[in-house]
């Protein structure tokens, strides 16, 4: 187990290094400098700006400087917002995005596992088809469509919930979390159903049946632990999906989180901000993939040895 | 359930493809999906003949109007015919879907076949590269690419295709490994065929099933990714439009003019549903071994 953890952790390092290097050189290859604007800047001012942001040094020197600062956890200053560092902006946006992601994940796991278990109790009956059809709709409907449609129905036509905002009124966190979570609930429901049904066909379940256990007891006590392994392995990628989903959700519902900052930085061509958030997001995703892999390996000893790379 | 034994089938012998075709035709959802897709594709291709308006003709006096006899699905705030714009948008969305998938298909199949067939150290290195790329947050990277190199539609094909080939490479490699050691491959080697010829004549036709299935399931993902980027304003740029662009406009004005959101949304979801149903149907028809998840 320790060997597996070490191996997976070591594998994460080249990924992060690749992300940092690719991001750095991509943004530096971009045509036009960060200070190109409608207003003409005089050469002297431009020169001073470049010196202030260390842009007059050769590219490789800037690269190693940036790497060095990253190791210290410093993402550098923002190009667009004078006197604000990328770190500050990440720290303002992160708690909000994190809260949103947490609610969405809670919704996805509760509804998803619930629906999956309900469906797997009576496979190939209405009790199976109904939740699975709804799940199919959830997978096909992208969040940038589901969000506006929910707003149209519940906020504009029915007037039950606020249209946008975060923490301004009591109920405004419900719609964004629901929109973000629902697609993942659908995936989790399908994975949970498949996983549980597979476990149910195994020998130790037959033993449990022979012992005379009731069907719910078999599912909840014996099948659930093994059947949920695919769900756990999916949580890492789901987290990555939640992060990129937060770009859309935070734009639709005007939530001042990290995803919205990222999209704005992309529009403003705020290069340090884009670099910083890209690297930060990537690191988060790599870490979460790592954690979900380790938990999945802990639940299922076979993946530790046989299939070492996932 | 009664099953009658079809003796003619034994006499004539049925190929895998005929078999798959009958199985696919029995799946009603998949057939409906296929027909819908054909219609959607034809409508988008013939947009210029079907619609009397051009996608950029403005009728500013009219402004946003609800569906009427002149404008079947209404007009947007600049008085442009929504039906026409959906057709032209479909052209872009479907084109991105198919072309980017083609890019993914070519890279993925070539990579997976070489890796799986040669094996050994080459395989290990090639698959390690796939593993590393797999762990990268690609949505973020595509956004970064679009920001750095400008919102260029050809770059969009390449960027999306460059992301989607990874899974294809893994699937193809697994398939190749499973047939690499079969007798007919040994026979081909013994006959002195070149590696390229073996891959093309003997390996590729035998792994076509899973490739077709996965390709069909990739297209909706690609369309979704394009709409996602266009929705954020980082994909297709005006005056060109795609379904994602139309939805993004629709969201801005949905309080006053809900039809501007609802119709593009319906068209996009119907297309995605059809592709997914067709893909699922093809999977059941071509490769009964792959279980539904």
Distance, in Å, from the CA atom of A9 to the CA atom of A7, rounded to the nearest integer, reads 5
3-state secondary structure of A58: coil
User: In chain B, which residues have their Cβ closer than 8 Å to the Cβ of A27?
Assistant: 144, 148
- Cα B245 to the chain's mean position, in Å? 19
CB contact under 8 A, A309 and B145: no
Which residue would you say has higher pLDDT here, B171 or A50?
B171
CB contact under 8 A, A278 and B244: no
CB contact under 8 A, A140 and B247: no
Q: What is the DSSP letter of A140?
A: H
Whether the CB-CB separation of A112 and A184 falls below 8 Å is answered with: yes
Predicted local confidence at residue A37, as pLDDT: 59
3-state secondary structure of A77: strand
Which residue would you say has higher pLDDT here, B135 or A151?
A151
- Cα A79 to the chain's mean position, in Å? 26
Question: Residue A221 to residues A196, A204, A205, A224: CA-CA distances in angstroms?
Answer: 12, 12, 10, 6
Percent of chain B with pLDDT over 90: 5
Distance, in Å, from the CA atom of B227 to the CA atom of B236, rounded to the nearest integer, reads 9
Distance, in Å, from the CA atom of A138 to the CA atom of A132, rounded to the nearest integer, reads 10
Residue A14 contacts B, CB cutoff 8 Å: yes
User: In chain B, which residues have their Cβ closer than 8 Å to the Cβ of A19?
Assistant: 136-137
User: In chain A, which residues have their Cβ closer than 8 Å to the Cβ of B258?
Assistant: 152
User: In chain B, which residues have their Cβ closer than 8 Å to the Cβ of A244?
Assistant: 137, 139-140
Most B-contacting residue of A34, A129, A136, A145 (CB-CB within 10 A), to test interface: A145
Digit-coded pLDDT (tens) for B12-65:
556 777 777 887 888 888 888 889 989 888 888 887 777 777 766 676 666 667
First to last CA, chain A: 15
**Angstroms from A30 CA to nearest CA on chain B:** 5
Distance, in Å, from the CA atom of A167 to the CA atom of A145, rounded to the nearest integer, reads 23
Residues 115-154, chain A: which have Cβ within 8 Å of B?
Answer: 136, 139-142, 144-145, 148-149, 151-152
- Residue A267 region by backbone torsions, left for phi larger than 0, else alpha for psi between -120 and 50, else beta: alpha
Query: Two tokens at A49?
Result: 């700006």
* Residuewise pLDDT in 10s, chain A (310 residues): 777 788 778 878 888 888 888 888 887 776 666 666 556 667 777 777 777 666 777 777 788 888 888 877 777 777 777 677 888 888 888 888 888 888 999 999 999 999 988 888 887 788 888 888 888 888 778 888 888 888 888 888 887 877 777 777 767 788 888 888 988 898 899 888 888 888 888 888 888 888 888 878 888 888 887 788 888 878 877 887 888 788 888 888 888 888 888 888 877 777 788 888 888 888 888 888 788 778 877 777 665 554 444 3
**Angstroms from A120 CA to nearest CA on chain B:** 12
**Dihedral (CA of B82, B86, B91, B96) sign:** positive
What is the gyration radius of the CA atoms in chain B, in angstroms?
23
Residue B21 contacts A, CB cutoff 8 Å: no
Kindly indicate whether the ipTM for this predicted assembly is greater than 0.90, answering yes or no.
no
Which chain B residue shows the shortest CA-CA distance from A155?
B255
Predicted local confidence at residue B212, as pLDDT: 85
Q: Which of A291, A234, A288 is nearest to A109 (CA)?
A: A234
What are the backbone dihedrals phi and psi of residue B140, each rounded to the nearest 5 degrees, phi first?
-65, -40
Question: How many interchain CB pairs under 8 A, A with B?
Answer: 114
Distance, in Å, from the CA atom of A197 to the CA atom of A73, rounded to the nearest integer, reads 46
**Angstroms from A183 CA to nearest CA on chain B:** 13
Which chain A residue shows the shortest CA-CA distance from B231?
A144
Question: Residue A165 to residues A47, A182, A264, B253: CA-CA distances in angstroms?
Answer: 41, 20, 17, 18
| DSSP β-bridge partners for residue A85 | A77
Distance, in Å, from the CA atom of A205 to the CA atom of A218, rounded to the nearest integer, reads 7
Which residue would you say has higher pLDDT here, A236 or B168?
B168
With a threshold of 0.95, does the pTM exceed it? Answer: no
Query: Which residues, including other chains, have CB under 8 Å from residue B92's CB and lie 6 or more apart?
Result: B153, B236, B240, B241, B242
SS3 content of chain A, % helix, strand, coil (to 5): 75, 0, 25
User: In chain A, which residues have their Cβ closer than 8 Å to the Cβ of B136?
Assistant: 15, 18-19, 282
Residue identified by tokens 């301004």 is A168
**Dihedral (CA of B172, B173, B174, B177) sign:** positive
Query: At residue B291, does pLDDT exceed 50?
Result: no
Instruction: Give me the mean pLDDT over the B68-82 stretch.
Output: 72
Predicted local confidence at residue B293, as pLDDT: 38
**Angstroms from A15 CA to nearest CA on chain B:** 6
Residue A171 contacts B, CB cutoff 8 Å: no
Predicted local confidence at residue B26, as pLDDT: 81
Residue A23 contacts B, CB cutoff 8 Å: yes
Confidence of residue B288 (pLDDT cuts 50, 70, 90): low
Predicted local confidence at residue B5, as pLDDT: 56
Query: At residue B10, does pLDDT exceed 60?
Result: no
Question: Residue A21 to residues A17, B7, B156: CA-CA distances in angstroms?
Answer: 6, 65, 22
**Secondary structure (DSSP) of chain B:** ------HHHHHH---HHHHHHHHHHH-HHHHHHHHHHHHHHHHHHTHHHH-SS-TT---TTT-S--S-SSSTT-B-TT--BHHHHHHHHHHHHHHHHHHHHHHHHHHHHHHHHHHHHH-HHHHHHHHHHHHHHHTS-HHHHHHHHHHHH---HHHHHHHHHHHHHHHHHHHHHHHHHHHHTSHHHHHHHHTT--HHHHIIIIIGGGGHHHHHHHHHHHHHHHHHHHHHHHHHTSSS-TTS--HHHHHHHHHHTTTT-THHHHHHHHHHHHHHHHHHHHHHHHHHHH-TTSPP-
Q: How many residues does chain B have?
A: 293
Distance, in Å, from the CA atom of A180 to the CA atom of A101, rounded to the nearest integer, reads 8
Residue B292 contacts A, CB cutoff 8 Å: yes
What is the gyration radius of the CA atoms in chain A, in angstroms?
24
What are the backbone dihedrals phi and psi of residue B165, each rounded to the nearest 5 degrees, phi first?
-75, -20
User: In chain A, which residues have their Cβ closer than 8 Å to the Cβ of B244?
Assistant: 144
Buried b (16+ CB within 10 A) or exposed e, B26-43: ebeebeebbebbeebeeb
Whether the CB-CB separation of A142 and B224 falls below 8 Å is answered with: yes
Q: Average per-residue pLDDT in chain B?
A: 80
Distance, in Å, from the CA atom of B277 to the CA atom of B289, rounded to the nearest integer, reads 18
| DSSP β-bridge partners for residue A77 | A85
Distance, in Å, from the CA atom of A166 to the CA atom of A169, rounded to the nearest integer, reads 8
CB contact under 8 A, A144 and B131: no
């Amino acid at each position: 187990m320790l060997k597996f953890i070490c191996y997976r952790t070591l594998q994460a390092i080249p990924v992060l290094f690749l992300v940092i290097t690719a991001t750095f050189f991509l943004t530096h290859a971009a045509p036009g400098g960060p200070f190109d604007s409608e207003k003409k800047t005089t050469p002297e001012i431009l020169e001073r700006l470049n010196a202030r942001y260390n842009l007059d040094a050769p590219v490789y020197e800037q690269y190693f400087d940036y790497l060095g600062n990253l190791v210290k956890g410093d993402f550098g200053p923002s190009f667009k917002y004078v006197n604000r560092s990328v770190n500050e902006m990440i720290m303002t946006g992160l708690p909000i995005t994190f809260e949103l992601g947490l609610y969405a994940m809670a919704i996805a796991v509760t509804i998803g596992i619930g629906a999956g278990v309900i469906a797997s109790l009576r496979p190939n009956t209405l009790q199976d088809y109904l939740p699975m059809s709804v799940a199919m709709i959830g997978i096909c409907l992208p969040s940038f469509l589901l969000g506006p449609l929910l707003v149209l129905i519940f906020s504009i036509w029915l007037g039950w919930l606020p249209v946008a905002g975060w923490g301004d009124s009591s109920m405004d966190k419900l719609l964004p979390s629901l929109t973000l979570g629902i697609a993942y609930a659908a995936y989790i429901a399908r994975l949970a159903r498949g996983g549980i049904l597979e476990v149910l066909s195994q020998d130790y379940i037959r033993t449990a049946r022979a012992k005379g256990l009731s069907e719910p007891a078999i599912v909840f006590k014996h099948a659930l632990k093994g059947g949920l392994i695919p769900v756990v392995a999916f949580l890492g990628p789901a987290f990555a999906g939640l992060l990129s989903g937060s770009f859309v959700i935070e734009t639709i519902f005007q939530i001042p989180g990290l995803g919205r900052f990222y999209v704005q930085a992309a529009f403003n061509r705020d290069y340090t901000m884009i670099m910083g958030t890209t690297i930060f997001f990537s690191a988060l995703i790599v870490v979460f993939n790592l954690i979900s892999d380790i938990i999945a390996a802990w639940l299922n000893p076979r993946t530790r040895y046989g299939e070492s790379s996932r | 359930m009664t099953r009658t034994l079809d003796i003619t089938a034994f006499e004539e012998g049925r190929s895998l493809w005929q078999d798959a075709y009958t199985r696919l035709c029995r799946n009603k959802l998949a057939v409906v999906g296929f027909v819908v897709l054909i219609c959607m594709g034809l409508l988008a291709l013939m947009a210029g003949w079907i619609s009397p308006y051009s996608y950029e003709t403005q009728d500013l006096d009219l402004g946003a109007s609800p569906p009427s006899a002149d404008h079947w699905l209404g007009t947007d705030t600049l008085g442009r015919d929504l039906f026409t714009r959906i057709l032209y948008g479909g052209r872009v969305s479907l084109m991105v879907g198919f072309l980017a998938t083609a890019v993914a298909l070519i890279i993925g199949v070539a990579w997976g076949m070489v890796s799986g067939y040669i094996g050994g150290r080459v395989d290990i290195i090639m698959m390690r590269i796939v593993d590393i790329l797999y762990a990268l947050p690609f949505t973020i990277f595509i956004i970064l690419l679009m920001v750095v190199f400008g919102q260029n539609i050809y770059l969009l094909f390449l960027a999306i295709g460059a992301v989607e080939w990874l899974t294809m490479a893994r699937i193809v490699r697994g398939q190749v490994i499973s047939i690499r050691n079969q007798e007919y491959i040994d026979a081909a080697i013994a006959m002195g065929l070149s590696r390229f010829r073996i891959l093309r004549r003997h390996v590729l036709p035998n792994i076509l099933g899973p490739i077709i299935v996965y390709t069909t399931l990739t297209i909706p993902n690609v369309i979704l990714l394009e709409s996602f980027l266009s929705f954020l304003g980082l994909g297709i740029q005006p005056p060109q439009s795609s379904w994602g662009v139309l939805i993004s406009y629709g969201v801005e004005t949905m309080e006053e003019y809900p039809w501007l959101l609802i119709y593009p949304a319906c068209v996009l979801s119907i297309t995605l549903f059809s592709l997914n149903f067709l893909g699922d149907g093809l999977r059941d028809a071509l490769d009964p071994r792959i279980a539904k998840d």
